[in-house]
Amino acid sequence: MGVDQGTRVIPDWLEPMAATLTAERFSDPAWTFERKLDGIRVLAFKRGPVVQLWSRNRLSLTAAYPAVVAMLETLPHDALILDGEATGGWGRQGKADYNVFDVLWIDGRDLRPRPLDERRTILKALDLVLPVARVTALTGDAPWERACREGWEGVIAKRRDSPYEGKRSKAWLKMKCEASQELVVGGFTDPQRSRVGLGALLVGYYDGDDLSFAGKIGTGFDTKLLLDLRTRLDALAVETAPFTKGTGLPRHGHWVRPEIVV
């Protein structure tokens, strides 16, 4: 049952809004950017003195974050719904366990139809203290570059005028950092059983003048690609391994001039 606030009743549940994954990278004053946190999505419901925490799949997390519950109980609001990410558990001194990025309901007001900037202003006015923290907007023209440089999972881009939709929306975009590296092929192994062409590519990367062995790549090939690769590699055959550093290099391999980059 909800709690009557005179004008509206706080609901027992709200569907969380989800971001859409995108390969786009852009800067636009109509959008704001936040760090993408690697945690558990949590909706916090405060009804009178009672605080409950729920996962996006409606699993109770109240007992997992007692310090968060205790902090939210102190807020002077009889009806409150917050959305955020839990990144800790059982209280970590000096660190946030619950990172709040949206407020969906406050006393008798359903804030979901209101634009994001307005909801953020209301969120900013809440007296949150650790282990609860407020997620702040990132500054700079290319926040995703900072995210990838500092090893974050990525960033979330949000339209400043967007209402809170209880579904996956293109008004929120998820820009993930993906680790990648160019490697050079220095050899390959023989195919086994019914496989044709080659078994795995032996790849490495340059460390100064050394070609350091990085490992094997043996998946993601269809029959045509395996045969095409074998033809190309046979034309680059050499007698000795081009790798001069690294461990785990197979004893029995076919070696090639390191000219093919993957």
| Cα 102 from Cα 96, distance rounded (Å) | 16
In the chain, the N- to C-terminal Cα span, in Å, equals 58
Contacts of range 5-11, beta carbons closer than 8 Å, 24 or more positions apart: 5/78, 5/79, 5/107, 5/108, 6/108, 7/108, 7/109, 8/108, 8/109, 8/110, 10/45, 10/47, 10/79, 10/81, 10/105, 11/81, 11/105
| Cα 31 from Cα 140, distance rounded (Å) | 12
| Cα 13 from Cα 258, distance rounded (Å) | 58
Residue 124 appears among annotated catalytic residues:
no
Catalytic residue among 36, 46, 158, 216: 36
122 membership: H or E segment, kind and range: helix 116-125
**Cβ neighbours around 49 below 10 Å, total:** 8
Instruction: Assign 3-state DSSP to the chain and report helix, strand, coil percentages, each to 5.
Output: 15, 35, 50
Listed in sequence order, the residues at least 6 apart from 47 whose beta carbon sits closer than 8 Å to its beta carbon are 2, 3, 10, 78, 79
Peptide bond into 131 cis (omega under 30): yes
- Supply the residues annotated as catalytic: 36
